């Protein structure tokens, strides 16, 4: 072979691929079907044509070049590159069937952002998909809106209404790592930001042996290092940070979130130089939950919640009160989570309706959550379908005596 032959340039393949729907040529199937076949999704295309390519060689090169540029920019700036997302269809990702509420105002499928990759360092924070979870479509759309637009979202309401779980399951379905931090009156800045810790490190050094030879030995040494807290970890790696029980924390502690809620870097004053300024990763999102909207507890049920700083809460562009579910949805949730018949689940929902109405009217001091109904149904199933006893163990026994008597009368009438 001649030198000219060995040095000949490699001819790159710029040929397009064929769309299996209409036989036309294109370079990227997901772009082509979005323009020419909006009733199709990439998931449907892959299902019906599993062997068909999705990108031409030219398109693959462009994707590789784009990723290389992002990596080079990230290395130059010290920031981590954005993860590559893909578009998927809302009602398919969340398995909502043909529900009208899962479509746009003109009846078209809604495109959402989904990630197939996540950093290995956050593997433990990837939530598992709960196939039995029943999504409130309207609430899920609002959570997704906050994720897509990078707007911090605060959900509040009675216990057991699924505030934290909807965030967790949205992350599970869309491929976002989820870091949940519980707040209490004892939460300090260091619990969120990080702190210096002392650890033991083995250090190698040479010593003179009995025979005069040099030997290498290891001895323990105490070293001080800065350990990042959950917030800067989420910001650096691009996770969803959930500040749970936000209204339990001291107002001066949650004030540290204010620059983060504004989309600005986090400054950790006591950290070493490499961690002093934490810039948010492109996929970092912040959400929060609470039993109140920061103005205090009007019910007396949530001891420990505090009146919060209005300036802090004003930095949540999306705030939503989460109510108990519609009866049919709550029946479906209880049935799917416990395996009891839908008719028996409906009885639990009837009891809950009575209890909640009495609570709303100020006649009893306790209300019942879906979580407690699920526990009651699970207990009753183990006890041979003794639903009244299941409810007593999961909920009624914790009520004041007067409330307990009223609730047991409801249960007796409905369960028989």
Segment 317-344, tens digit of pLDDT: 999 999 888 899 899 989 999 999 999 9
Domain limits at 112?
89-183+225-323
Contact predicate 30/87, CB 8 Å: yes
101 within a domain of the structure (yes/no) = yes
333 within a domain of the structure (yes/no) = yes
Q: Is the dihedral of CA 26, 30, 34, 36 positive or negative?
A: positive
Residues 113 and 147 in one domain: yes
Residues 18 and 162 in one domain: no
Instruction: Please state the rounded mean pLDDT for residues 389-404.
Output: 93
Contact predicate 240/178, CB 8 Å: yes
Domain-ending residue, one of 33, 50, 78: 78
Give the SS3 label for residue 298: coil
Contact predicate 167/143, CB 8 Å: yes
CA pair distance 133, 126, nearest whole angstrom: 17
CA pair distance 328, 414, nearest whole angstrom: 17
Block residue for tokens 């749970």: 244
Nearest residue to 215 via CA among 225, 204, 226, 224: 204
Instruction: Please state the rounded mean pLDDT for residues 351-367.
Output: 88
Domain count, the chain: 3
Nearest residue to 168 via CA among 141, 122, 119, 133: 133
pLDDT value, residue 192 = 95
CA pair distance 376, 415, nearest whole angstrom: 13
Cβ-based burial of 257 (10 A; exposed 0-12, middle 13-18, buried ≥19): buried
pLDDT value, residue 66 = 67
The token pair at 5 is 């032959």
Residues 120 and 135 in one domain: yes
Residues 313 and 362 in one domain: no
Residues 236 and 370 in one domain: no
DSSP 44-98: HHHHH-TTS-SB-HHHHHHHHHHHHHHHHHHHHHTPPPPPPEEEEEHHHHTT-TT
Instruction: Please state the rounded mean pLDDT for residues 277-295.
Output: 92
The set of residues, in sequence order, having a beta carbon less than 8 Å from that of 392 and lying 6+ positions away, is 408, 411
pLDDT digits (tens, 9 = 90+) for 93-103: 999 988 899 99
User: Is residue 11 very low, low, confident or very high in pLDDT (cuts 50, 70, 90)?
Assistant: low
Instruction: Please state the rounded mean pLDDT for residues 256-261.
Output: 94
83 within a domain of the structure (yes/no) = no
Instruction: Please state the rounded mean pLDDT for residues 118-145.
Output: 91
pLDDT above 60 (res 75): no
pLDDT value, residue 294 = 79
Instruction: Please state the rounded mean pLDDT for residues 153-178.
Output: 93
Contact predicate 163/367, CB 8 Å: no
Q: Select the more confidently predicted residue: 388 or 416.
A: 388
383 within a domain of the structure (yes/no) = yes
pLDDT value, residue 148 = 94
31 within a domain of the structure (yes/no) = yes
Residues 384 and 298 in one domain: no
pLDDT above 70 (res 286): yes
Domain-ending residue, one of 40, 59, 78: 78
Instruction: Please state the rounded mean pLDDT for residues 17-31.
Output: 93
13 within a domain of the structure (yes/no) = yes
Domain-ending residue, one of 294, 323, 352: 323
CA pair distance 299, 356, nearest whole angstrom: 13
Q: Select the more confidently predicted residue: 74 or 308.
A: 308
The pTM (predicted TM-score) of the whole model is 0.71
Q: Select the more confidently predicted residue: 2 or 206.
A: 206
């Amino acid at each position: 072979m001649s030198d000219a032959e060995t040095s000949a340039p490699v001819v790159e393949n710029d040929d397009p691929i064929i769309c299996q729907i209409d036989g036309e040529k294109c370079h990227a199937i997901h772009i082509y079907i979005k323009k020419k076949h909006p009733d199709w999704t990439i998931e449907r295309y892959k299902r019906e044509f599993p062997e068909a390519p999705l990108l031409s060689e030219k398109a693959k090169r462009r994707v590789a070049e784009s990723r290389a540029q992002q990596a080079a920019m990230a290395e130059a700036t010290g920031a981590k590159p954005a993860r590559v997302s893909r578009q998927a269809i809302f009602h398919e990702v969340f398995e909502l069937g043909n529900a009208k509420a899962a479509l746009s105002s003109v009846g078209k499928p809604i495109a959402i952002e989904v990630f197939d990759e996540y950093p290995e360092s956050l593997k433990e924070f990837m939530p598992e998909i709960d196939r039995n979870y029943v999504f409130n479509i309207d609430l899920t759309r609002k959570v997704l809106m906050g994720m897509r637009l990078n707007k911090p979202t605060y959900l509040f309401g009675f216990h057991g209404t699924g505030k934290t779980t909807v965030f967790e399951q949205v992350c599970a379905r869309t491929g976002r790592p989820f870091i949940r931090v519980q707040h209490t009156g004892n939460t300090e800045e260091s619990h969120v930001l990080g702190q210096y810790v002392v650890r033991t490190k083995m250090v190698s050094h040479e010593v003179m042996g009995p025979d005069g030879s040099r030997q290498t030995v290891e001895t323990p040494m105490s070293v001080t290092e800065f350990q990042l807290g959950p917030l800067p970890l989420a910001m650096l790696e691009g996770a969803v940070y959930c500040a749970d029980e936000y209204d339990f924390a001291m107002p001066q502690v949650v004030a540290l979130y204010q620059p983060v809620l504004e989309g600005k870097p986090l400054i950790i004053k006591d950290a070493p130089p490499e961690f002093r300024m934490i810039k948010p990763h492109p996929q970092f999102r912040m959400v929060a939950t609470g039993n109140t909207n920061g103005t205090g507890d009007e019910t007396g049920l949530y001891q420990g919640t505090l009146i919060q700083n209005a300036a802090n809460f004003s930095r949540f562009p999306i705030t939503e009160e989460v109510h108990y579910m519609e009866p049919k949805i709550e029946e479906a949730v209880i049935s799917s989570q416990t395996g009891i018949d839908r008719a028996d689940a409906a009885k639990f929902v009837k009891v809950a309706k009575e209890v909640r109405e009495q609570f709303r009217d100020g006649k009893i001091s306790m209300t019942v959550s879906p979580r407690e109904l699920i526990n009651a149904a699970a207990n009753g199933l183990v006890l041979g379908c003794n639903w009244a006893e299941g409810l007593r163990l999961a909920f009624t026994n914790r009520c004041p005596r007067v409330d307990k008597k009223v609730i047991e009368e409801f249960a007796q009438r409905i369960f028989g």
